[in-house]
Amino acid sequence: MTIRSLGKDFKDNVPKGVQILWFENTGITSIKNQAFSHLQNLNFLVIRGGSLKKLSRDWFPRPWNVTYLDFSYHKIAALPEDIFADIPMLSFFRFEGNLLSTISEKVFTKHTVYYAFKGNPINCNCNIKWIIGKLKPVVLLNGECVEPESLKGTQLKSLKEDNFRFCH
């Protein structure tokens, strides 16, 4: 089934008590603000394999007790700084196969969440040195560097202070 957009029709036809939503390879290209705002009980949301180019915190309720979010295999290159705001129960964020090239400290402030970034073109330059002290232990981070050449193929969870010795 092809679903291009989640908006008013979606919001009007999904029961408020739904706890799990899974969309895979539906071709979703856009989600309207407040599309999920009535789904306070939703704790598992998967929207994989589409053409989304952005995520917005305005799509979801505030606060929201979702525990699992998966926005893998889209065309998203960046995340808004507030994407995880007012989501206290989040424990797993899967964001594989997108276009994310950096891991911003302003975005990834929740240090008890498992982040899966496999298949993103992550540049392991000085801008991500902060993950060594904050996003590790090892079990909380999955993905690998594609740049610089000296770190290509290095698992994010394997990065060490020594990899950033030239950073100031």
Based on the number of CB atoms within 10 Å of its own CB, is 126 exposed (0-12), middle (13-18) or buried (19 or more)? Answer: exposed
pLDDT 10s digits, 149-158: 999 999 998 8
Provide CB contacts within 8 A for 116, sequence distance 6+. 72, 92, 93, 94, 95, 96, 142, 143
pLDDT 10s digits, 104-124: 888 887 667 889 999 999 999
- The pLDDT assigned to 142 comes to 87
Question: Model's pTM, two decimal places?
Answer: 0.90
Instruction: Check if the beta carbon of residue 108 is closer than 8 Å to that of residue 78.
Output: no
Return d(Cα 69, Cα 36) in angstroms, integer: 13
Domain map (residue ranges) of the chain: 5-99
- The pLDDT assigned to 113 comes to 86
Intervals of the chain under pLDDT 70? 1, 110-111, 135-139
pLDDT 10s digits, 53-70: 999 999 999 999 999 999
The CATH number corresponding to 5-99 among 3.40.930.10, 3.80.10.10, 3.30.497.10, 3.40.50.300 equals 3.80.10.10
What is residue 114's three-state secondary structure? Answer: strand
Instruction: Check if the beta carbon of residue 60 is closer than 8 Å to that of residue 36.
Output: yes
Return d(Cα 91, Cα 116) in angstroms, integer: 11
